Amino acid sequence: MDKLFIADEKDVREGSTMDVYFDRTKKILEASGLSGIKVCAEISGGSLPKNWKWGVFCGLEEVIRLTEGLPISMSAIPEGTIFRPRTADSVRVPLANIFGAYTDFGILETAILGMFCQPSGIATAAARTKIAAKNKTVLAFGNRRMHPAVAGVLDRSSYIGGCDSVSSIIGGRIIGREPVGTVPHTLMLLMGSNDAAFRAFDEIIEEEVPRIMLIDTFSDERTAALEACNSVRDLKGVRLDTPGSRRGNFKELINEVRWELDMNGHKDVDIIVSGGLDESSIAGIVDTSVSGFGVGTAISNAPTLDLAMDVVEKDGQPISKRGKFGGRKFTYRCPQCFDMGVSLKRDDRIPCGCGCEMEMIETEVLRGGKRVCKERTPSEIREYVLKQLRTIGEL
Ligand SMILES: [Zn+2]
């Protein structure tokens, strides 16, 4: 079989996915006898896409796994931290700092940035979706719109940002939870009727899998909802994936299905909706009796964050290109309003505009190539994200 076009783990670790100019830089530095220069390289962003006011920092665990063993040290804000890209004085806030000879980690610059930028964009979109959903269930369904090589990364990032479950098998494995899915329209089409498909699913699929039936394939949703109740013993929910051409007033349709279910004694059957949902369309239907949302492209195709890696210190002395702020900076954040601060000093006292004092939030994650922080599970990181969203009153 011919090879697929994806980079495997070996390619990434060996630098095959790097932009070629990093390799050339390494060659030149080595040939010039400058490979030993120690630098501090800062990872920061000037602004966030779509005018987002804050982002969710995601991808750190994978970057640690990538760089562990190299002769470098690294500090970073904890994964899952809600951050703003700049301080009130518009200084770029370091999300991570890498210390060592540039030639020892430069060939991984492209990979490191990619591992932060895309996951952080997805985690931020997931958090914003969770807020729009007013803390109701959000299921990440967006893998099919992205390349399968990154399915696990997409699902992990969606989950960390606040999604309650993910749909891919590899994603489930990475986050340590069963993946969630309902039924594709194909099953009803091939089995010939809702009833046949619903009954077959109930008979054949393991008992622990929640029974959530898709009810928009052939007939009106309220008819199919009752059909599902009759065909499946322990029906957990019904999913409306109603096509745009039939949606009319989606909010009323949801309320009508709820009414019909309740009236027929199925108050405990949940209503899940899906199909092209995003933050704004969810906001329009969240105040109905809907229990959860399946969200696809709006999360998996989230804008990537525009983070950069910049040398800010050379042999212990501040240096930087134009437009960047030199010096090794420690990252601070206000525990109340999450405004950010930086200082050239560790454990500095920085007052926040809101009256609180900022806290230093960076931690050392690698020292001389050895991991010096405890690995946190995706569930722990997700809990940290949700707690912060509650703190700033978003959730
Ligand atoms: Zn504050």
Q: Average the pLDDT over 202-229 and give the result.
A: 94
HEC-encoded secondary structure of 178-230: CCCCCCCHHHHHHHCCHHHHHHHHHHHCCCCCCEEEECCCCCCHHHHHHHHHH
How far does the centroid of ligand 1 lie from the alpha carbon of residue 21, in Å?
Answer: 41
State the pLDDT at residue 336: 93
State the pLDDT at residue 393: 80
State the pLDDT at residue 248: 87
How far does the centroid of ligand 1 lie from the alpha carbon of residue 187, in Å?
Answer: 53
CB 307 within 8 A of CB 95: yes
How far does the centroid of ligand 1 lie from the alpha carbon of residue 354, in Å?
Answer: 4
284 Cβ contact list (under 8 Å, min separation 6): 250, 251
> What's phi and psi for 355, nearest 5 deg?
105, -15
> What's phi and psi for 297, nearest 5 deg?
-55, -35
228 Cβ contact list (under 8 Å, min separation 6): 194, 198, 213, 215, 235, 238, 269
Domains 9-121+303-391 and 181-289 fall in the same CATH topology: no
Q: Specify the residue for token string 């960076």.
A: 362
How far does the centroid of ligand 1 lie from the alpha carbon of residue 392, in Å?
Answer: 10
How far does the centroid of ligand 1 lie from the alpha carbon of residue 287, in Å?
Answer: 31
3-state SS class at 14: helix
How far does the centroid of ligand 1 lie from the alpha carbon of residue 247, in Å?
Answer: 44
pLDDT tens by residue, 351-366: 999 999 999 999 999 9
Other CB atoms closer than 10 Å to residue 366's CB: what's the count? 23
Domain spanning 9-121+303-391: which superfamily? nicotinate phosphoribosyltransferase (3.20.140.10)
How far does the centroid of ligand 1 lie from the alpha carbon of residue 82, in Å?
Answer: 13
Going by pLDDT thresholds of 50, 70 and 90, the confidence category of residue 164 is: very high
How far does the centroid of ligand 1 lie from the alpha carbon of residue 333, in Å?
Answer: 8
Q: Could you give the strand order of the β-sheet that contains 211-214, starting from the edge strand earlier in sequence? A: 165-166, 137-140, 292-295, 270-274, 235-240, 211-214
pLDDT higher than 90, residue 392: no
CATH code, 181-289: 3.20.20.70
pLDDT tens by residue, 31-55: 999 998 999 999 999 999 999 999 9
How far does the centroid of ligand 1 lie from the alpha carbon of residue 358, in Å?
Answer: 7
27 Cβ contact list (under 8 Å, min separation 6): none
Other CB atoms closer than 10 Å to residue 132's CB: what's the count? 21
How far does the centroid of ligand 1 lie from the alpha carbon of residue 353, in Å?
Answer: 6
How far does the centroid of ligand 1 lie from the alpha carbon of residue 211, in Å?
Answer: 46
Going by pLDDT thresholds of 50, 70 and 90, the confidence category of residue 162 is: very high
How do 292-295 and 270-274 pair as beta strands?
A: parallel
Closest CA to 161 of 118, 129, 117: 129
How far does the centroid of ligand 1 lie from the alpha carbon of residue 89, in Å?
Answer: 14
Helix, strand, coil percent values for the chain (each to nearest 5)? 40, 20, 40
- Ordered by start, the domain boundaries in the chain are 9-121+303-391, 181-289
Q: List, in sequence order, every residue forming a beta bridge with 343; answer none if it has no partner.
A: 330
What distance in Å separates the CA atoms of residue 16 and residue 10, rounded to the nearest whole number? 8
How far does the centroid of ligand 1 lie from the alpha carbon of residue 39, in Å?
Answer: 32
